[in-house]
Amino acid sequence: MPYQSGLSESLGAITETTVGTEATVNAWYEILGHTLQSVPTFLDSASIQAGLAFQRGSQTVISRYDVNGDITLEFRDRGFSAAGGKGMGFWLKHALGSTAVPVQIGATTAYKASHFPAPRTGLSFTTQVGHPEARAAGTVKPYTYRGCKITGWEFSCNDNQVAQFKVTIDGWRENTATSLVTPAYAAAAYQSAPFTFADASVFTLGGTATTTANITSVASGVAVTSIVKGITLTGSIPMRDDGYGLGNAGTKSEQFENGIPMVTGKLDMEFNNQAEVYALFAANTNTVMQLDFTHGDAGGGNPYRLSFILPQIKFKTGQVTMSGPDVLGMSVDFQAYQDGSTNPVVQIQLVSQDQVN
């Protein structure tokens, strides 16, 4: 019998061959939590029958089906699942619309994949969660969601914490009739480990970003000397998600981008060096940002790596805060821009042992 609590909750996913056509999940992910739910639109008849004051349940119908919610995971260094060791590359693929394919680094077990934004047309996934019932039968009930697309993502890492990745989902329909697919996680020898605040090995501003063969790198970046206690990176992808039409029985059509996407961020830091960040804000100066997390060995001396490169950012706020005798703080917001070259707005690179996304 499974645990009758969240200890038996599972979440699996698979990229759909056809948008909105339910597929059988084949990879499972360790999660911190999720809020996925069916959100139908109910229509209540407003007609009046003499002598009846209340609306009648027999005249209330569902006119639209919808699915939404968030999934929050720790950002880990390699696959969670026995199905090819799929890991965070799956979520980056769907968050960015990435077409990156992991490439082997020499004759080692390490693979590199460089993800950057691209159109999401034709890209969707099915996800299934298993909800364990409490106290009664103790069974795990499957809830399957098709036509899922990511409309927003957030990476965060703060002092003395594990890095987290949250994605916001918009989907088509919920199905509770599909049987639960038994989760299959990676073997003990392939278990993943999370990146943490202590793994931040590179944090630079400035320098020159260049992109060659779809890989962006930074030359001459200058290490940040200020004490930065936390960072949040956020991606928002406006989408037309209400494409309901006659003949679709209340089910939406494929969601597609219909607004300008944005990548923004926030730094929580001490006020150590005015020239380092505040001066860039005050002068409206463009700069390059790189942040890498590394640990362990993915193979051949190549550490597991999670790397963010933003070739052009602007600091939009530069508030210095004082709340007593302690060190002054700074809270700064920034936005990533297209720099007019072949560089992407953001590159998120993974070095792991994952051979598929």
pLDDT at position 108, please? 96
Distance CA 99, CA 214 (A): 11
Q: Using one digit for the tens of pLDDT, what is the confidence trace for 37-86?
A: 999 999 999 999 999 899 999 999 999 999 999 999 999 998 887 766 68
pLDDT at position 191, please? 72
75 within domain boundaries: yes
Mean pLDDT within 147-153 = 98
Q: How confident is the model at residue 326 (pLDDT cuts 50, 70, 90)?
A: very high
Structural domain count of the chain: 1
Range with lowest mean pLDDT among 151-160, 179-188, 208-217: 179-188
Mean pLDDT within 119-148 = 93
70 within domain boundaries: yes
Q: By residue range, what is the domain housing residue 333? A: 6-42+64-352
52 within domain boundaries: no
**Residue 329 pLDDT > 90:** yes
Q: Say which amino acid occupies 24.
A: T
Range with lowest mean pLDDT among 27-31, 182-186, 206-210: 182-186
Tell me the backbone φ, ψ of residue 205, rounded to 5 degrees: -125, 150
Distances in Å between the Cα of 58 and the Cα atoms of 33, 45, 258 are 36, 9, 38
pLDDT at position 85, please? 67
159 within domain boundaries: yes
55 within domain boundaries: no
51 within domain boundaries: no
Percent helix / strand / coil, the chain, rounded to 5: 5, 45, 45
CA 323 to chain CA mean position, Å: 34
pLDDT at position 3, please? 87
Distance CA 49, CA 175 (A): 36
Residue 96 exposed, middle or buried by CB count within 10 Å (0-12, 13-18, 19+): buried
158 within domain boundaries: yes
- The model's pTM is 0.95
Mean pLDDT within 26-35 = 95
**Residue 188 pLDDT > 80:** no
Instruction: Reduce the DSSP state of residue 199 to 3 states and report it.
Output: helix
pLDDT at position 80, please? 82
**Residue 136 pLDDT > 80:** no
60: number of Cβ within 10 Å: 11
Q: Using one digit for the tens of pLDDT, what is the confidence trace for 241-294?
A: 999 999 999 999 999 999 999 999 999 999 999 999 999 999 999 999 999 999
49 within domain boundaries: no
**With contact defined as beta carbons under 8 Å apart, do 238 and 261 qualify?**
yes
